[in-house]
A = this chain, B = another copy of it.
Amino acid sequence: MYAIGLDLGGTNIKSGLVHKTDGIIANNSSPTNAQNGLESTLTTLTKAIKELQYHSDNDICGVGIGAPGMISYDRKTVHNPPNLPGWDVVPLADELTKRTGLPVLLENDANLMALGSARFGSGKIHDNFIMITLGTGVGGGIIYQNQIFRGVTGAAGELGHVTIDYNGRRCNSSVTGAIEGYLGQRFLSSIAVENILNYPDNELFKAFTGKFETLEPLHLTNAAEKGNTLAIEILHDAGKQLGFALVNYIHILDIRKIIVSGGVSKAGKWILDAAYETAMQQLMPPFKTDFEIIVESLGNEAAVLGAASLALDNF
């Protein structure tokens, strides 16, 4: 069985023809050109679907789409997607069915990353896990009993917007001290710069003077690998903060497998070891059993695989 998965981003539309067991058979990417408005993007999406239809011998069960913004509970309509100006409320699934003849479902992109992991990635062997995506923002998806845990309206799993310090930092979350304000790429970078500015002798200070705005978590990881203790400390602090957020998720959900994906997760042991140690100190004893942090094995293809999985699961 085949399905088509689409990842609708503000910049690019990624698409893939996915086989239930073999994964991605063919894939593509085209610019979203969001500035050209809704109708133009609908045409691009339709074209992406039709191109992949030609690759298969007609047993495509349907289309899954990872979309930004709020998705309706029936997974048919998208509300006010942030990077798609002028979209407002769009019955995207029905519009694309009309144009392609295929059934279509939508889902929030972080949830689909988790579903992609559950069907094709590190989550395949786990019926229950929490995926946390450490990228520009911090997102998440909860897989419970092998399905996306959706909550009452389909909005569950806003894991980046969980506070660990109610007197803490503000970020673009509405929540003071939200974990996104510590681990989100831009926020981690600016915390690092705040620290580095106090140590003019540090190699990072010297390397980034005059261009601190270009410092990224990857530079911290590289410095840590070379033994830069300040970088190690900054990443360790971030890991400790992540560890507290994990404790909050685990004590609420009693789901103890954590799968980490996204750019910042590449900081690997420098963040994740501290997160693990902190959580093992802080978890109530019964919750330590089976607690594990796992790095997602899939890369960027997780979003398209997750989108196609939505169709494979439902059609």
A contacts, CB < 8 Å to B: 70, 128, 142, 150-159, 161-168, 173-177, 240-241, 244, 247-249, 251-256, 281-287, 290
Taking the closest CB of chain B, its distance from the CB of A79, in whole angstroms, is 8
Residue in chain B with minimal CB distance to A157: B252
Task: Please determine whether B165 and A284 come into contact, CB atoms closer than 8 angstroms.
Answer: no
Known: A174-B283, A175-B247, A283-B174. A254 touches B155 (CB 8 A): yes
Task: Please determine whether A241 and B155 come into contact, CB atoms closer than 8 angstroms.
Answer: no
Chain B residues lying within 8 Å of A286, measured Cβ to Cβ, are 70, 153, 155
Task: Please determine whether B255 and A161 come into contact, CB atoms closer than 8 angstroms.
Answer: no
Contact of A249 among B154, B168, B252 (CB under 8 A): B252
Chain B residues lying within 8 Å of A281, measured Cβ to Cβ, are 174
Known: A252-B249, A252-B252, A252-B253. A284 touches B161 (CB 8 A): yes
Task: Please determine whether B251 and A175 come into contact, CB atoms closer than 8 angstroms.
Answer: yes
Task: Please determine whether A152 and B247 come into contact, CB atoms closer than 8 angstroms.
Answer: no
Give the interface centre of A167, A244, A256 by most chain B CB atoms within 10 Å: A244
Known: A241-B166, A282-B174. A287 touches B155 (CB 8 A): yes
6 A-B pairs with least C-beta separation: A151-B254, A156-B254, A158-B251, A166-B244, A155-B254, A161-B251
Task: Please determine whether A165 and B164 come into contact, CB atoms closer than 8 angstroms.
Answer: yes
Interface CB pairs A-B, < 8 A, 19 = A151-B253, A151-B255, A153-B286, A154-B254, A157-B254, A162-B251, A163-B248, A164-B164, A164-B166, A165-B168, A166-B240, A174-B282, A175-B244, A175-B247, A175-B283, A175-B284, A176-B244, A248-B248, A252-B253
Known: A128-B152, A175-B282, A282-B174. A162 touches B252 (CB 8 A): yes
Taking the closest CB of chain B, its distance from the CB of A164, in whole angstroms, is 5
A164 to B241, CA, bound (A): 12
Instruction: Kindly list 13 other residue pairs between chains A and B, CB separation below 8 angstroms, not including A164-B166, A174-B284.
Output: A142-B252, A152-B290, A153-B286, A154-B254, A155-B286, A156-B254, A161-B284, A163-B164, A163-B247, A174-B285, A175-B251, A175-B284, A176-B244
